[in-house]
Amino acid sequence: MPARHPAVPSSDPSAPPASPGLVARLRAAGCVFAEDEAELLLAAARTPAELAALAGRRMAGLPLEHVLGWAGFCGHRMHVGPGVFVPRRRSEFLVHEAARHTRPGAVVVDLCCGSGALGAALAACAGPVELHAADIDPAAVRCARANVAAAGGHVHEGDLFAALPEELRGRIDVLLANVPYVPTQEVGLLPPEARDHEPRVALDGGADGLDVLRRVAGAAARWLAPGGVVLSETSERQAPAALRALTGGGLHARAERCAERAATVVLGTRPADVP
Ligand SMILES: C[S@@+](CC[C@H](N)C(=O)[O-])C[C@H]1O[C@@H](n2cnc3c(N)ncnc32)[C@H](O)[C@@H]1O
């Protein structure tokens, strides 16, 4: 997995120039985008002591977004608390695809929401919508509350659909489900930033990475409105099996790929005429 590019572009005109010493120390610590990161740390720190503390945490291996407390996603700053999955730039493609299916007033659910960035970004670009987000991890739920509140959304805690209010059954127009999809054997191969600082429950998708997606696919038709759609990110390799899972759940399934972002999204639509 390539190094994540930092949250905002280096050409940010409001950013103060980074000191060559800080850049060199970040580079020596393995930060690939050291200049950009130095600018962001400098902009975040109010005093030299604060800058030293922030840079120290980064050089100790914490994800930049956890050090800053936010990640750039779809042009917005999303709050990301310690121990919460950092939304990936690749997932902007999932939001882009979801926006094509989102009409004003739609019921949108962001299941396995992590920071809540995907649902919040979708509401910002395709709203107004009725937004609900849910996650099993209390740290993610706390973080999502901060991001989703701005969109007037609601955040629920619990295991997949069991977290949702019963009144949403059969009413969901757009179901975002960026579930964990790393095969168990490959979790150890992830970069240390993910492996050591993001929770296992956010990464590990079981033997082939599709355990959680299969559970979502099996129940989605009962929660989607007629014509409603579920969207999920997978690897390109997993897409055929993911499509079979969606079809097995009674949905019309297809995949979309964005080469530029190296992103694959599978979509499952509930047929409009099936009760
Ligand atoms: C890959 S992260 C994605 C987070 C967010 N959707 C994003 O793209 O930034 C997967 C999320 O699924 C949550 N999760 C894993 N198993 C779950 C379950 N059974 N029920 C609800 N949430 C779950 C994790 O806590 C984690 O926040």
CB atoms under 10 Å from CB of 22, counted, come to 21
> What 3-state DSSP class applies to 59?
helix
Nearest CA to ligand 1 atom 4: 114
User: Of 4, 112, 156, 231, which is best to mutate to test ligand 1, by the most ligand atoms within 8 angstroms of its C-beta?
Assistant: 112
Amino acid at 229: V
DSSP string of 68-81, one letter each residue = HTEEEETTEEEE--
* 170 CA → ligand 1 middle, Å: 22
Domain ranges of the chain: 20-68, 89-269
What would the pLDDT profile of 25-42 be if each residue is shown by its tens digit?
A: 999 998 989 999 999 999
pTM reported for the whole predicted model = 0.93
Q: How far apart are CA 103 and CA 221, in angstroms?
A: 20
CATH of domain 89-269: 3.40.50.150
Q: How far apart are CA 83 and CA 197, in angstroms?
A: 6
Q: How far apart are CA 94 and CA 37, in angstroms?
A: 26
The pLDDT, as a whole number, for residue 23 is 94
Nearest CA to ligand 1 atom 14: 112
Q: Strands 172-177 and 107-111: what pairing?
A: parallel
What would the pLDDT profile of 178-201 be if each residue is shown by its tens digit?
A: 999 999 999 999 999 999 999 999
The pLDDT, as a whole number, for residue 60 is 93
